[in-house]
Structure 1
Amino acid sequence: MNPLTDPAPEGPARPRARDLGLVAGDLPAGPLDAITDVPGVLVGHTTVRRPPDVHSGVTAVVPGAVGPHSPLPAGVFTGNGHGKLIGTTQLAELGTLETPVLLTSTLSAFRVADALVGWMLRRPGCAEVRSLNPVVGECNDGFLSDIRSRPVREEHVCAALDGARGGPVAEGSVGAGTGTGALGFKAGIGTASRVAAPGGARHTVGVLAQANFGGTLRVLGRRLTPDSLGLADGAGAGAAETGSCVIVVATDAPLDARQLTRLARRAVFALARTGAAYGHGSGDYAVALGTVPPGTGGAAVADAELGPLFDGVLDAVEEAVLNSLLAASTTTGFGGRTLPGLPVDRLLDALAAPARER
C-alpha cells in the first residue's frame, strides 16, 4: 500500500447511484461508468488526511500523452467565477490543453500548479520547454479542513500524477474531494460516463466532478430536504457558500475547441439538476477535453449532431454528483464541524414515498 496514493478505506463499500437503480437518462454508460471509459484517460488521487484538522488532497486527470508538443483540443466554461481555475485564460484563448488537469484545495492550488510545472518539465521531450500552461482547479475545503495550513505538497502532486491509472475510479472522500461537501452533505469526487452516437459513430463522454456546492438536494428531479431524510433541520448548514464545483469532461469524439466549450457549458448547466444554488461564493467551472484532435479520428462531428453528446454530459454530471454523495461518509473535521453522509436507506425510503408524504 502506498500511503500517498492509496487512501485509508472509510468502511464497507458504499453503493453507487446505478447500484440503487438511480440512473439519469436513457443513454448507456461505459463499462466502468467513469471518466476512464474514455480511451487513454487516467486518474490519480493523493489523499492528505491528518484527523481531526486536515482533510484534503489532490486529484489528477491525465489524458494520455498530453504535453506542450502534443496539446489536445479543449474548452472551458465558467458558471459562477468565485474561484481560481489556474490556466483558464490561455485555455480559452488557444483552445488547447498542454498538461493534465489537477484538482485540489483553494489555498493549495498555487503550490499544485508549481508542482505540475516541475513534473511536466521533467517529462521526456520537455528539456527545451520555456513556456507551459498548467491547468489546476480548486474547491474550498475549509469547512472540514485547516485550509490555511496548505497541506498539499509537491510529493503529493507527483504521487497523484505518477499513480494515475485506468480502471475504476475511487470516489467520495478521496483526493481533492477529501474535505468537500455538497448540498448539505459530505461529498467529494464523483464520476460517470455515457456512450452516444452523434452522426452514427459511437463515442464515449466521461466526467469527473469535485463536488462542493450549496443548494437543496434533488435526485432525479425530486427535492429532498434534511427533514424528508429524517435528519435534523439544517444538517450541514454553513458549508453552502464555502466552495465550488469543478468538472472535467473528456471525450474521444473528434471535436474542436469551440464544440468542447459547448460540452463544458452543459456540464455546468447539469448541476442545476442536482439542486445547485450557484451561490455568490461558488466557483462553478467545467473543462472539456478531446483525446482525439479533429482530423485524426474519423469525420468531424457537425454541430447539428452534437445533441447526443450534450445529453451524455448532462446525464453523466447528474450521476457523478450523486455518486460523490453516496460514496462519502459522515466526517468531523477542523473545529469539530461535521458534514453528514447521505443516508442511503432513508434516501430510498424518501424516493419511494408518495409526494404528499415527503
Structure 2
Amino acid sequence: MHKPRARDLGLPFPGQTGPFNAITDVAGVTVGFATLTDPSRDMRTGVTAIRPRNDVGVPVPVWAGHYALNGNGEMTGTHWIDDAGYMIGPVCITNTHGVGAVHHGVTRWMIEHYAEFFRQDHGWAMPVVAETYDGVLNDINALHVTPDDAIAALLTAKSGHVGEGSCGGGNGMIAYQFKAGTGTSSRVFEIGGRRYTMGCLVQANHGRRSDFQVLGTPVGQLMPEGVFERGLPQREMGSIIVVLITDAPLSGLSLRQVAKRAALGIGRGGTPGGNSSGDIFLALSVANPGPMPQRAAAVLTKTEINGELIDPLYLAAVQAVEEAVVNAIVAGEDVATFKPAGQIVPGIDTKRLAALF
C-alpha cells in the first residue's frame, strides 16, 4: 500500500512544488531503481539511477557543480566536475562497497548507449557514482551489488512519480535512527519573470534521533521510542547524498554555490554533519544543451542567471532538500537489523508525526 508523503500528513512545508513533487518535475529527468532484497542472504541494498538528459548516441553535457560538507564518503567523477564544470551520462547511488561494481556497470552502459561517440571519438566515461553505508541492515561485505544491477536501474529510469524509502540504493539506509533511504521533492520559482524548477533526490542515511527536527519541531525528542544503541557506535554514523537538478541556466561555478545550499537543507533536519558522516552534494543544470566540447566551436555562447538575482533559486534548493529528507523518513517501515542482529530499525509513526502539526 502506498504510504502518505510528508505533505499528505499535513506537514506545512513552504514553497510551491511541481506536479510530482519530485526530481522528475524537471523536464527530461528520469529515475530508475534496482532494489535487492533477500532476507535469506542478508541482502537489503540496491542502485538508484538518475538520468539528467534523454540523450543517446552522443552525450550532451550537463553543467555541474559539487560540494562536500563532510568527506567520509565517495562520489566519483567530481575532480573533473570541479575543473570542467560539466559532466556526461547518469548519476548512480548505491552502498559503500558497491561503488566499483556500479561504476563498471555504468561505464558499460555508457559505451553502449553512446556508441557513436565512443566509436568515432576518443571517448571516455567518467561516471558519477555515490554511496552511503548500509551495513546495519545489509551484509555489505557480501558485495551483493553487481554491474548488471546498475544497468538494470538505468534501463528502468522513467519520468513521473519516484519511489521513496526502501527503493534502489536507499533500501538499506537509516536516517535519524528511523528507516529511511530515498527521498525526493521539487520547487517551482521565478527569476526575472520566468518560471524554473528545482528538483532534488536524496539518499538519506544520517543523523541521530535526538537531533531530528521537522520544520523547527524537535520530533526526535518527542518521538524517542525504538532507538537501539547496543552494538552501534555512540555517534552519528552514516551519510547523505543530495542530487539537485534545475532547468535554470547556470554555470559550473554557480552550481557549486547551489550544491553548498544542500548543507542548509539537511541542517534544517538537525544534523550537525558528524565526523563519520559523508555529506556530499551534486548540483546540475540541464539548460544550455550543446555539443561535447571537442565537437564545439572555439567560442561558446551560453545564458546564465545573474548571481545578484539568484536567491530564489537558493531558497528552492534548501526547501527541496529539507522536504526530500522527511519524505525519505516518512516512507520507512520497520526492518530487522543484520549487524548487530536481533534489533529493529523502526519506520516513523506517521500518525504521531502528523499529530505534532
Q: 5 Å matches for 1:264-343? A: 264-293=259-288, 299-334=303-338, 335-343=341-349
* Mapping 1:19-38, distance limit 5 Å: 19-25=8-14, 27-38=15-26
Q: Among residues 151, 160, 167, which one is paired with 1:158 in the alignment?
A: 151
Q: Which moved more, 1:123-132 or 1:174-183?
A: 123-132
TM-score, normalised to structure 2, is 0.89
Mapped contact 1:144–1:338 kept (Cα < 8 A) = no
Contact map agreement 1:184 1:236 (CA 8 A) in 2: no
In the superposition, relative to structure 1, how do residues 298 and 83 fare at CA in structure 2: closer, same or farther (>3 Å)?
closer
SS of equivalent to 1:131 = coil
How far, CA to CA, are the matches of 1:31 and 1:236 in structure 2?
43
In the alignment, which of 215, 218, 239 is matched to residue 213 of structure 2?
218
Secondary structure of the 2:353 match is: helix
- Displacement of 1:154 after TM fit? 1.6
Counterpart of 2:225 (choices 231, 242, 256) is 231
Where has structure 1 moved over 3 Å in runs of 4 or more? Answer: 65-69, 232-242, 294-299
Q: Residue deviations 1:83-130, cap 9 Å, x none?
A: 111111111111111120000000001110111111100113233344
* In structure 1, C-alpha distance between the alignment counterparts of 2:203 and 2:192, rounded to whole Å: 31
Q: Tell me, which stretches of 5 or more residues in structure 1 are unaligned?
A: 1-11, 353-358
Aligned length: 338
The residue number in structure 1 matching 2:293 is none
Matched, 1:58 2:47: yes
Task: State the alpha-carbon separation in 2 of the partners of residues 293 and 144 from structure 1.
Answer: 42
So what's the TM-score if we normalise by structure 1? Answer: 0.89
CA contact (8 A) 1:235 1:340 kept: no
Aligned to 1:183: 176
Which secondary structure state, in structure 1, belongs to the residue aligned with residue 268 of structure 2?
Answer: helix
Counterpart contact for 1:264–1:287, Cα < 8 Å: yes
Describe the shift of the 1:268–1:230 C-alpha distance in structure 2 as closer, same or farther (beyond 3 A): closer
Farther-moved stretch of structure 1 (116-125 vs 183-192): 116-125
Partner-residue secondary structure (3-state), 2:104: helix
Residues 17-59 of structure 1 deviation map (CA, whole Å, 9 limit, x = unaligned): 111121322x210000000000000000110111151110000
- Greater shift in the superposed pair: 317-326 or 300-309: 300-309
In structure 2, runs of 5+ residues without a counterpart are 291-299
What is aligned with 1:145?
A: 138
The 10-residue stretch of structure 1 (178-187 or 233-242) with the greater mean CA deviation from structure 2? 233-242
Q: CA deviation at 1:277?
A: 2.6
Partner Cα separation in structure 2 for residue 16 and residue 220 of structure 1: 15
Displacement of 1:337: 3.6
Q: Percent identity?
A: 38
Deviation of 1:229 (Å): 2.1
User: Is the contact made by 1:66 and 1:98 (CA closer than 8 Å) also made in structure 2?
Assistant: no
